[in-house]
Amino acid sequence: MISTVIGLGNIGDKYSGTRHNLGFEVINAISYKWRVRPKPGKGNYYFAHHKYAGRIITLVWPTAYMNNSGMAAEQVMEVLSLTPEEILVVYDDLNLPLGKIRIRQGGSSGGHNGIGSVIEHTGTENIPRIRLGIGPLPENADQVNFVLGKFSEDEQKFADKMIGQAADAVLYSLKHGLEDAMTKYNNPAPEE
């Protein structure tokens, strides 16, 4: 059963509001709802605890930048004695269209360095995850500049809606389990 939610992103004002920080945005939304503030953890992360669905849930913000996110995952798992199946990782994904979320119980990194680092540090691809679509990559666009860029005004509306939906999906997963959440949230996003 999931007890820890790790949002992937890059720490610092420079990266705030970028496509690559959607994982942070989702857990920020949850921490705001729960009225909890992150504090430094025993490693490369900030964390907050909150009682939800009858148990203590931990929100985690890694601080070693996206490509080293796995360090925080490994440290949190050690401190809280967790198995990989007890963590839920939330992150942006270029392979999904903007506005769409996808919940999975595991799988490859799909070329995403953050989840790739988590897989490397935990030693398994069986990491529950919620992917938030930021694709497709525009033609002739540089991938790094694109993911580290901010949404346009029109895109931001879709992003905000997706952040809210992903936060709801996290809470639903914690209460009803991943299987039920997959059934409820893995449907195509309705066309606007």
Catalytic option among 20, 50, 121, 176: 20
Three-state secondary structure call for residue 118: helix
Cβ neighbours of 16 (radius 10 Å): 14
- Report phi then psi at 124, rounded to 5: -150, 150
Write down the H helix ranges in 15-112.
22-34, 69-80
- Which H or E run includes 24? helix 22-34
Catalytic residue flag (residue 49): no
Residue 60's DSSP bridge partners are: 6, 47
Report how far residue 31's alpha carbon sits from residue 37's, in angstroms, rounded to the nearest whole number: 7
The amino acid present at 152, given as its one-letter code, is: S
Strands, E assignment, 34-105: 39-40, 45-52, 55-62, 87-97, 101-104
Q: Would you please indicate which residues are annotated as catalytic (active-site) residues?
A: 20
